[in-house]
Amino acid sequence: MYDIQRRNEKKEIITQDGSKTLYSCEFNEPYHSTKDGALHESLSKHVIPALKLQADKEQVTILDICFGLGYNTLATLHYIKEHDLTTQVEILAPEFDEALIRSLAEFTYPQAFDHLKPVIEALSQNLYYEDEQFKIQILLGDARESIPQIQKGIDIVYQDAFSPKQNPLLWTREYFADIRKILAEDGIVTTYSTAAVTRMGLYENGLNLFYYEAENTRRSLIASPSDIEGWNAIDMVLKIERNPTARSLRDVDFIG
Ligand SMILES: C[S@@+](CC[C@H](N)C(=O)[O-])C[C@H]1O[C@@H](n2cnc3c(N)ncnc32)[C@H](O)[C@@H]1O
């Protein structure tokens, strides 16, 4: 399924908002939408909607799948500090590319992350960072193995794997079932993918689905076991009626 031989083959690219990302030759895909911009995408599809929807909580646990260059984790810290929020945050971030993590202290992040240099260095060296407000742990290894071992309730899931087409095992019904088991009843999943397979995998695990639209960004998806007050859920019954062959991805199709 994975091509470990090609894991180190990556190219740096500059995205629309000026922030840098990588292109993975193994997955044949960039780490971020080059059109939406790496930093802009991270803030507008994951961090801002998630923190706004969970704003009532004094403490949140975030599952950042997968850490990659760490934009989602870093943008979370950046947003919280910029808005003087006092939320206590714990982040668990699966990632199997150790060489990438070890190289992050040398990566050129946007200026907005300059104040996070000590965090980046600690994560790159120790896979761990902690201060009085934030605790971050990179879970080195396959997310399909590390997620079922998580014992804590998760408030926010940043579902930011490569696309369902290129990395289907991180979008199957069984994978979303593992996430559903640890997701708090009022927790949320944010994802850039609005594909039918994504919606079906989340819906078949009992999640309500909502489109989210931010300025200058393509729409994204929010999923939650609960209703989100004032938001219109996607009518999945109608969608399925109109497209009866739509189907979630299944582990068996990829690993037998
Ligand atoms: C789209 S990138 C993540 C982008 C990331 N959120 C960021 O801000 O850079 C996908 C990441 O998933 C990792 N990955 C792919 N399959 C994985 C798996 N089964 N387990 C753990 N990490 C995986 C890749 O190494 C890559 O770093």
pLDDT band for position 115 (cuts 50, 70, 90) = very high
239 neighbors 215 (Cβ within 8 angstroms):
no
Q: For residues 7-13, give the mean pLDDT.
A: 97
pLDDT digits (tens, 9 = 90+) for 131-152: 999 999 999 999 999 999 999 9
- Indicate if ligand 1 lies below 6 Å from the C-beta of 110: no
pLDDT at 79: 98
Q: Which CATH architecture has domain 37-255?
A: 3-Layer(aba) Sandwich (3.40)
Question: Buried b vs exposed e over 126-160: b needs ≥16 C-beta within 10 Å?
Answer: ebebeeeebebbbbeeebbebbeebeeebbbbbbb
pLDDT at 17 over 80: yes
pLDDT band for position 216 (cuts 50, 70, 90) = confident
Question: Buried b vs exposed e over 68-93: b needs ≥16 C-beta within 10 Å?
Answer: bbbbbbbbbbbbbeeeeeebebbbbb
Q: Picking from 85-89, 208-212, 213-217, which range would have the lowest pLDDT averaged per residue?
A: 213-217
109 neighbors 74 (Cβ within 8 angstroms):
yes
Residue 111, both tokens: 């200026």
| For ligand 1, atom 8: residue with the closest CA | 71
34 neighbors 16 (Cβ within 8 angstroms):
yes
Torsion sign, CA atoms 11, 13, 124, 146: negative
Residue in the block written with tokens 């019954």 = 237
- Indicate if ligand 1 lies below 6 Å from the C-beta of 66: yes
pLDDT at 1: 83
Q: What is the mean pLDDT of the chain?
A: 97
Q: Which residue has the higher pLDDT, 187 or 214?
A: 187
pLDDT at 37: 96
pLDDT at 125: 98
pLDDT at 110: 98
pLDDT at 68: 98
pLDDT at 219 over 80: yes
Q: Distance, CA 231 to ligand 1 centroid (Å)?
A: 30
- Indicate if ligand 1 lies below 6 Å from the C-beta of 65: no
pLDDT at 255: 87
- Indicate if ligand 1 lies below 6 Å from the C-beta of 192: no
Element (H, E) at 157: strand 154-159
Q: For residues 226-238, give the mean pLDDT.
A: 95
Q: Distance, CA 240 to ligand 1 centroid (Å)?
A: 30
Domain layout of the chain by residue ranges: 37-255
| For ligand 1, atom 3: residue with the closest CA | 68
- Indicate if ligand 1 lies below 6 Å from the C-beta of 142: yes
pLDDT at 256: 66
